[in-house]
Structure 1
Amino acid sequence: MHSISALRDADTCWLLALGKIIAQTGLPTTEPFSYTYYLMTQTGIAHPFILHQWLAELIFYKIFQLAGLGGLGLLVALLTSLSLVAVPALAHYKEKVSIPMAMLIGTFAQLGCAFRSYARPEIFTYLLFALSLYLIESMTKSARRRACASYCYIAIYAAITATWANLHSSFILAVCLSFLPLIAALANNFFTAAQAKAPEAEKNSSAKTLLPLVLLPVTTILATLVNPAGINLWTYLPYLYFMKVAITEARTLNLDDLHLRGFVPYFVLFPIYIITLIRYLRKFAGQKDASFFLHCLGAILALTLACNKIRLIIYILIIIAYELPLLLTRLSKQAGDQAEVASSTTKQVWFKSPFLVLLAPLTCLIGSFYVTAFVHQSRLPEPSPSFDPPYDAIVYLRDHRPTGPVFNDHRFGDMMIWYLKPPVPVFIDTRIDMYGDQFCLRYAAMCNCQNNWRQDLDEFGINYVFLPPNTPLVQTLAKDPGWSTIFADKTAVILQRR
């Protein structure tokens, strides 16, 4: 399933195109595909070009070179399986967590990721997020016992963050996570001091314990600067996260989503996680330690993400896949002698072996390979309920390309970037954050024949338009004697000035 849905997003087209440029000529310093972006930067409407996910683009293109579109599907299936099944199950192996239970929860959570399991840069961040959760918990546990281990965790976490900052803008999550061990330790110290006055030696030990926890967020923030844009990567984030233009993936969940099958795993697992966490907090309220507060902070993070954008749901599912098996195990051990009963049921080596976890990614790889090789012929992008790609129109443009500037649909622009050779400069593509609010609103007004749309067509020197048939601009120009239809089917219409 993930191998098929991986190619449904048109973004993969320009991601591959940029990856090709990076592989052949190095990192571009100017935007290579759009003629309007340059004009907008000259007038100050668009911000300077920032190549903020170059490493993901390069990896995608190299995999495409090696294994074609099917290879991208395999990559997506493997990364989601590792993020939601393998890493969470292995992370708590020493906690005597039932690996089959962890795999079952993780697999169900993985089903809930299909709506966002695209060949896009964030697919790498799912694995990095899962690894970060493990390192954060390990850091919290080792802070009081092994200072040397804490510094090793800091170095590993910094390396993960630096990699993350070159893959996708969600590296801000790594920064947020890096503060959790420190906050948990401070909360633990506060409640411990409130209950009984700690000896002087213990206070000194506590101060030494806090040092690596303070260094963790500091080194994490510094690690984010290890990227081609440096500090400018941070200045780009507001354009990504605070756009006024409505984007489907940036909306929040609502009651209308309850009937969507793709969200069923999330709507099932999230309440179970919250109820289990409340039970855990009540049972262990008298045994507060740093790990206790870390679970509280994890829940706060999950709730914060849940109230935010729909594209963050997968990170919530990773938290659930990581936390829920551990909470259930600790609750079962607390209830009488159930810990021994649980251990007696897992005496078979295969049943508790960590190698059992490898079945999940291995099964994903085999299944994805079978689907892409023998069942389904991959296309880019794959058709979806929200987008019917204009394959025939792209072929027409490749063979009968009109001259002059084009006014195109933003998703059509993605396909033009990848398929048309030599490259045809596009009016717009799906890099909405790059173009900015003002330009995107102007583009929407032109599509809907609003404001000064005729003047805008003349200002940009538009010679032909390439849009879906139901676009008001297409319907208006089709009746205009100054325009003629040179291609039309159910997915796209191309009109040219006479």
Structure 2
Amino acid sequence: MIALTVEPEANSSQSETPEPPRRKGEADLSLLEDRAPAWARMSRSSAGLIAGLGLLFACASFLPLWHTDVWGHLSYGRWIVQNKALPPTEPMLPLCEGVRFIDTAWLSQVAAYLAEKQLGVTALQFLFAACVTFCAAALAYLASKRSGSNLAGALAAGTFLFVDYQQLIIARPQLAGMVCFMVVFGILTAQRWRPSFWIAMPVTFAFWANLHGSFLMGLLLIACFVAGRAVDLVRRTGTTQALWRDAMLRRHFLLFQLSAAAVLLNPYGLELYFETFRIAANRNLQDLVDWDPLTFRMSQGKAAAIALVALIAALRCSPRRVSAAEALSLTIFGLGACYSSRIIVWWAPLCAWSLAIHAEAALRKWRQLDSRPAPPRSGLSTVAAIGIMWIAFAYSPFGMRVIHGAPKTPEDAARRLKSSVSIQTAVAAAAYLNEHPPVGQCFNTYEWGDYLLWAGPANARWFVASHAHLVPREVWEDYLRIVSLSRDWEGRLDRYGINTVVLERNMSADLVRALKEKSHDWSLEYEDHVTAIFARKRPI
């Protein structure tokens, strides 16, 4: 007889460990982690990199608009919109009357003017910050994709900002050219060819040719990659026969041809090519600091030297092979920067990208890491990144303008303008001149010409502005002699019939002092911390 023993059922409350109660919101976060699709997940390092770019955008949005360049381009954009045509000759400076004007930046001028007209001056700050952030983000993305490390992406973006800082603080159409340059660089350095590149590259150049005359820098970059690929093939095979069989070389060469042809989609056609060379060779520009050769006396020269030393060290330690295209582009653009400091704008992203990928390779070699596990990805990181981007936009001047609306009163608009422009901007002086319009030809310092064209009296006759290449050489030399108090500077003012002189106090301190000493001929009509305005007591 079999005895059956039935054990009593264990108390579930004693045999199982109770789960701790969830905190409020914890279940929702768990669902987000579990249900977020793979494409919507990112690593914490990627979210951190995006957070840094968001901070960059926020900081750039609060940078005041510079007192030169942007205002002159806005004036041309206003003229084009009002007249519904491109000016055949210089339209705003009487002393440049009849000088042929090929506007190499007409599209960016019109776009900036329409943005300012519809959304106010904060729209210009937004466009400026967006262009700077796009360039840094593109470099960070390209470097991190090539190296597999977000740290390399952060290094690329940081190096670019460090070297190009002095050029990046000024809002001008050149920033649109930099955006196009980064698109071209991204296509050329892509690890996998995409059929869409056949369209993206010529379309980029078609826009670039109308946005800014720097499109030649993009064509030069493609030429460097074509020549570099050819050098690599010949060095590897020892014969030129491989040149005709290499698909990458054929693609790059065809892209160069398509891009050069796409440039012709502009109002001036082939003449645009010749004009860009004429501007670069203009003698007036050689008298401006922006076009001086790069030296160690310049802060950007010191920054470039530091970046170059770091790049050489990274190349020395990196196991990664240096392609001929990489070496050729760095060398050619670097020599260009030595000739003219403006070229550093185009050398800096090339240096930053090379430094980042080779520094990361050297670090991996030092740590003896052959492979790296993929960092965990989560939807929470994506949500955090999106939230950071929204906060950066919402607290920017333009974001507050979009959320809270336009200024309600003229006083609010004046305060908004004052907070959005640099303290060197002649805002108060322009208001004074509008109340007391000058008569006849005026003399103004180069730094004030752009803003006076934009905000000064509509019928005022200003002497010079930032488009120095349009000023006749004789007029430009007379301008330099007057501001430097050269011999017969008073006679030159008389020759032009100058009755009103508007000066930047700091950079023209000697001329301000000289006119104050000539109190029997000139009277100081207005003066503030940046501007001095003199009027002739007996007008000519």
TM-score category (smaller protein): 0.7 to 0.9
Deviation by residue 1:109-164 (Cα, 9 ceiling, x = unmatched): 335544222220011122211111111123xx56xxx6xx4x64243212111211
Pairing partner for 2:154 from 103, 117, 120: 103
Corresponding residue for residue 441 of structure 1: 477
Q: Does 1:247 align with 2:288?
A: yes
Identical columns (%):
20
Distance 2:316 2:383 in 1: 32
The one-letter code sitting in structure 2 at the alignment partner of 1:349 is R
Deviation by residue 1:236-281 (Cα, 9 ceiling, x = unmatched): 2244323444212222333334xx5x7776554332223213433x
Measured at CA, do residues 378 and 34 of structure 1 come closer, stay the same or move farther in structure 2, by a change above 3 Å? same
47-56 or 267-276: bigger deviation? 267-276
Measured at CA, do residues 72 and 234 of structure 1 come closer, stay the same or move farther in structure 2, by a change above 3 Å? same
Distance 2:216 2:384 in 1: 33
Larger helix fraction of residues: 1
Contact 1:181–1:294 under 8 Å retained in 2: yes
Distance 2:426 2:68 in 1: 11
Contact 2:438–2:460 under 8 Å retained in 1: no
Q: Does 1:269 align with 2:269?
A: no
Contact 1:82–1:361 under 8 Å retained in 2: no
Corresponding residue for residue 525 of structure 2: 486
* Equivalent runs, 1:155-166 vs 2, <5 Å: 155-166=199-210
Deviation by residue 1:54-85 (Cα, 9 ceiling, x = unmatched): 1111121122123322221222222111101x
Secondary structure of 1:407's counterpart equals: strand
Q: Does 1:221 align with 2:260?
A: yes
Measured at CA, do residues 67 and 481 of structure 1 come closer, stay the same or move farther in structure 2, by a change above 3 Å? same
* Equivalent runs, 1:61-80 vs 2, <5 Å: 61-80=113-132
Would you say how many aligned residue pairs link Structure 1 and Structure 2?
A: 460
After superposition, the CA RMSD in angstroms is: 3.5
232-241 or 403-412: bigger deviation? 232-241
The one-letter code sitting in structure 1 at the alignment partner of 2:132 is T
Corresponding residue for residue 135 of structure 2: 83
Corresponding residue for residue 91 of structure 2: 32
Q: Does 1:348 align with 2:389?
A: no
Pairing partner for 1:116 from 149, 167, 175: 167
Q: TM-score, normalised by structure 1?
A: 0.80
Deviation by residue 1:392-435 (Cα, 9 ceiling, x = unmatched): 32222111113222122222222221112434231111211221
Corresponding residue for residue 288 of structure 1: none
Secondary structure of 1:36's counterpart equals: helix
Q: Does 1:11 align with 2:52?
A: no
Measured at CA, do residues 20 and 114 of structure 1 come closer, stay the same or move farther in structure 2, by a change above 3 Å? same
The one-letter code sitting in structure 2 at the alignment partner of 1:217 is F
Distance 2:138 2:224 in 1: 20
Corresponding residue for residue 279 of structure 1: 317
Measured at CA, do residues 15 and 284 of structure 1 come closer, stay the same or move farther in structure 2, by a change above 3 Å? closer
Corresponding residue for residue 230 of structure 2: 186
Q: Does 1:495 align with 2:535?
A: yes
Distance 1:406 1:110 in 2: 39
Contact 1:484–1:495 under 8 Å retained in 2: yes
The CA deviation at 1:361 is: 6.4
163-172 or 312-321: bigger deviation? 312-321
Corresponding residue for residue 112 of structure 2: 60
Measured at CA, do residues 4 and 441 of structure 1 come closer, stay the same or move farther in structure 2, by a change above 3 Å? farther
Deviation by residue 1:170-217 (Cα, 9 ceiling, x = unmatched): 1111110111232122112211232xx79x8x67633x6543332222
Q: Which runs of 5+ in 2 are unaligned?
A: 1-58, 405-414
The CA deviation at 1:448 is: 3.3
Q: Which runs of 5+ in 1 are unaligned?
A: 42-46, 286-290
